[in-house]
Amino acid sequence: MKFVDEFRDAELGQVLAGEILATVEPGRHYKIMEVCGGHTHSIYKYGIDDLLPANVELVHGPGCPVCVIPMGRVDDGIALAREPDVILTCFGDMMRIPGSDGSFLDAKAEGADIRMVYSPLDALRIARENPDRQVVFYAIGFETTAPSTALTLKRAKAEGIKNFSCMCSHVTIVPPLRALLDSPDLRLDGFIGPGHVSTVVGARPFEFISESYGKPVVVSGFEPLDVLQSIHMILSQLTEDRCTVENQYGRVVPYDGNLRALEVLSEVFELRPHFEWRGLGFISQSALRLSDAYADFDAEQRFTVPGVRVADPKACQCGEVLKGVIKPWECKVFGTACTPERPIGTCMVSPEGACAAYYNYGRFAREREVV
């Protein structure tokens, strides 16, 4: 399959692993963060970490869009779903994210009309088919999925659909990275940049990492050879004492981003002053809300939303995992009280969550790292 099979060539993977080994300096420890949860799953699905020298460590970042949704925000969505004549729609990976008193799936079992959709356009279709009901789309995701929400809202406005609204929980990628870099808890040597987000925003927004913090960034694709090549590019920069943003994923990512998508985002959304991230607390200017031109479609203005902040379960260490401070297996409840079937934290639920990746592909990582 073009653009897939050639990036899964095992022999080329061994060649790249040899080049990485030849690049690293003996006695020096390298810590590289893969920002996107999709990279984390590729790393453990294909055993990329086993091909790396012992002194090259990969840690996980806050790039899983479902993982960062706080419990209070889940509770707000459930409260909306329990309003009379409301149909709440959301993506499938939101259904099992735990709130303070259950998930969307639990609320659905209790009688709330919550429906899984594959696209915000599905939610708009449901609104057309149910003119006597209020249909709310619970929007999540980084800049990757925000354009589809924006275009759906533009269509709803153009068609004059009055029973459709959006509870916007879209977040942006740059502020949490800046917060991590300002944190004294974590020292990083470089970043594997998020490929999906970059298809929209491009590679340019990450220049602040190299210019202000002196860390190399390589925007990467998701196939095993993409990730290995990106790691090699980062290590080469460090060896050559260079620091810049490079775009390994050039076959998909334009350096300046998708200008039309960015234009639509600026029309439909504006930045929130503050937004709470699960495990990371409040980060200013880190999320989107509907602009004044689309305020009529804002579910948080159309309905009464509790907006109560809920503390994470004490046993859950998703925040530390999202910041790269600990590995998933270092959490006391990983694989015991917290499993994909009965999750305590979001990182074990999402198909991009680091804990789910470790559980599904690398549950014996503890033994490998101790050795």
Three-class DSSP category at 178: helix
- The span from the CA of 239 to the CA of 143, in Å, is 32
* pLDDT score of 313: 83
Q: Does 368 have pLDDT greater than 60?
A: no
Q: pLDDT band at 364, cuts 50/70/90?
A: low
| 63 within 8 A of 175, measured Cβ to Cβ | no
For the stretch 212-225, pLDDT in tens is 999 999 999 999 99
For the stretch 119-159, pLDDT in tens is 999 999 999 999 999 999 999 999 999 999 999 999 999 99
- State the pTM of this model: 0.92
| 198 within 8 A of 251, measured Cβ to Cβ | no
Three-class DSSP category at 357: helix
Question: What percent of the chain clears pLDDT 70, i.e. is strictly above it?
Answer: 96
- The span from the CA of 168 to the CA of 140, in Å, is 7
* pLDDT score of 283: 94
For the stretch 61-112, pLDDT in tens is 998 988 999 999 999 999 999 999 999 999 998 999 999 989 999 999 999 9
* pLDDT score of 278: 85
Q: Does 342 have pLDDT greater than 90?
A: no
- The span from the CA of 134 to the CA of 110, in Å, is 19
* pLDDT score of 370: 41
Q: What is the DSSP string of 246-273?
A: EETTTTT--TT--HHHHHHHHHHEEE-S
Please tell me which residue, 360 or 298, carries the higher pLDDT value.
Answer: 298
For the stretch 6-19, pLDDT in tens is 888 889 999 999 99
Q: pLDDT band at 361, cuts 50/70/90?
A: confident
* pLDDT score of 363: 58
Q: pLDDT band at 187, cuts 50/70/90?
A: confident
Q: 125: Cβ–Cβ under 8 A, 6 or more apart, which residues?
A: none
Q: Does 302 have pLDDT greater than 60?
A: yes
The overall average pLDDT reported for the chain is 92
- List the domains of the chain with CATH numbers: 24-64+174-247 (3.40.50.11750), 71-171+257-302 (3.40.50.11740), 318-360 (no CATH)
For the stretch 238-278, pLDDT in tens is 999 999 999 999 999 999 999 999 999 999 999 999 999 98
